[in-house]
Amino acid sequence: MDLSLIIMQLLSGIALGAVLVITALGLTIVFGMLGVVNFAHGALFMIGAYAGLYLASLTGSFWWGLLLAPILMGAFGMLIEFVLIRRLYGRSIDDPLLLTFGLSYILVEGVRIVFGSDGIPFPTPPQLIGVLDLGIGFFPRYRLFVIALVAVVLLLLWLALEKTRIGLIVRAGARDPMIMQVLGVDIGRVWLAIFGLGVGLAALGGVLAGPMRSVNPEMGSLVLAEAFVVTVIGGLGSIVGAVVAGLMVGISISLVALFAPEMATIVMFALMAVVLLIRPQGLFGVRGRTT
């Protein structure tokens, strides 16, 4: 087994992890700030892929789909928060969980009715078709692009949260919403924006995954399970946790696939079990958080 093969394998793992990171991020931000376990996240990921595909075919360019789908889906997310989720704040954690669970069924069935349950082809953007010669092997251009784009999104998100006034309000709001209200901040609007951001990230994950996997109504259910595993490993609500755990899961799957391919999917759950045994709150989670 030569070194170049292992490097190529690592790179596939990072590309796989990048999609996981972006999807888990939306899940973890919504949980961390709002205390809502969003079971519709997978369905929104799937609708994001359909929206991206639809907008791309409407405008004739993948790039418009990639830009507009997350924005429109973010607005749709805000609508969901405003109409449905908002009413359940302050109640037990189960209520929003059940609500979003039901919502996911409605969304998936809706897509089945509109687009049918067969998959739809999502062509790779022409500029990114083919492989790039890395010297040690060939790697799909599109997957390299996904890695780069996710890195940029993460950087922007980090800057927004750490360096801006809105970021400050969001972080403070997550810690103590009551004080924020006393200080005159409309915390409801912050939560609205956060939920929109979470859904936008799910949709971005969906559009990015589109050209790699077939686009179909069930594509979200598998992703939801993966995103939850990543979120749990990283620690519920932790952004750094989602990033580290997402890459960790991607790379573990990839390296296990090299030596014991049959085990490639199970490794993710094994990793979660080990982490939970050693650190029940996840790698970057806060112990004893209540919502």
Partner 1 sequence: MPKSGSTAKISRRTALAGLSAGAALLAMPRLGRAADETIRIGFPTPLTGPFAAEARDQVKCAELAVKLVNDKGGIGGRKVELLVRDDKLNAGEAATRTLELIEKDKVHAVVGALSSAVQLAVNEVTRARGVIYVSISQSDTINEAKDFSKYTFHEALNPHMTTSAVARQTLKKGMKVAHLVADYAYGHEMLRGFKRAQATIGADNVGEILHPFGAADYSTFMPRLMSMRPDVLCISNFGRDQANAIKQAVDFGVKQQMKIVVPVILHNQRLAVGPDVFEGVVGGANYYWGLETQSKTAADFNAAFKAANAGAIPTDYGAYGYSGVGSLLAAMQTAGGTDTDKVVDALEKLQYDLTKGPQHYRKCDHQSVQSVLVLESKKKSAMANDNDLFAILANDAGSDDMLRSCSELGHAT
Instruction: Please give the residue ranges that form the binding site for partner 1 (CB under 8 A).
Output: 2, 5, 8-9, 12-13, 15-16, 117-121, 123-124, 130-131, 137-140, 142-143, 212-214, 216, 218-219, 222-223, 253-254, 257-258, 261-262, 264-266
Q: How far is the CB of 132 from partner 1 (least distance, A)?
A: 10
Side chain identity, residue 160: A
Rounded Cα–Cα distance for residues 112 and 109 (Å): 5
Rounded Cα–Cα distance for residues 235 and 242 (Å): 7
Between residues 54 and 82, which has the closer beta carbon with respect to partner 1?
54
Between residues 134 and 179, which has the closer beta carbon with respect to partner 1?
134
Residues 191/81, Cβ–Cβ less than 8 Å = yes
Q: How far is the CB of 153 from partner 1 (least distance, A)?
A: 20
Q: How far is the CB of 38 from partner 1 (least distance, A)?
A: 20
What residues does 138 pair with on adjacent strands? Answer: 133
Q: How far is the CB of 265 from partner 1 (least distance, A)?
A: 4
Q: How far is the CB of 222 from partner 1 (least distance, A)?
A: 5
Between residues 9 and 281, which has the closer beta carbon with respect to partner 1?
9
Q: What DSSP string runs through 133-188? A: E-SSSEEEHHHHHHHHHHHHHHHHHHHHHHHSHHHHHHHHHHH-HHHHHHTT--HH
Rounded Cα–Cα distance for residues 143 and 209 (Å): 10
Between residues 128 and 154, which has the closer beta carbon with respect to partner 1?
128
Question: What are the distances in angstroms from CA 171 to CA 36, 87, 223, 250?
Answer: 16, 22, 27, 28
Residues in contact with 204: Cβ distance below 8 Å, sequence separation at least 6, in sequence order: 22, 48, 66, 69, 70, 153
Between residues 139 and 191, which has the closer beta carbon with respect to partner 1?
139
Q: How far is the CB of 105 from partner 1 (least distance, A)?
A: 12
Between residues 29 and 223, which has the closer beta carbon with respect to partner 1?
223
Residues 120/216, Cβ–Cβ less than 8 Å = yes
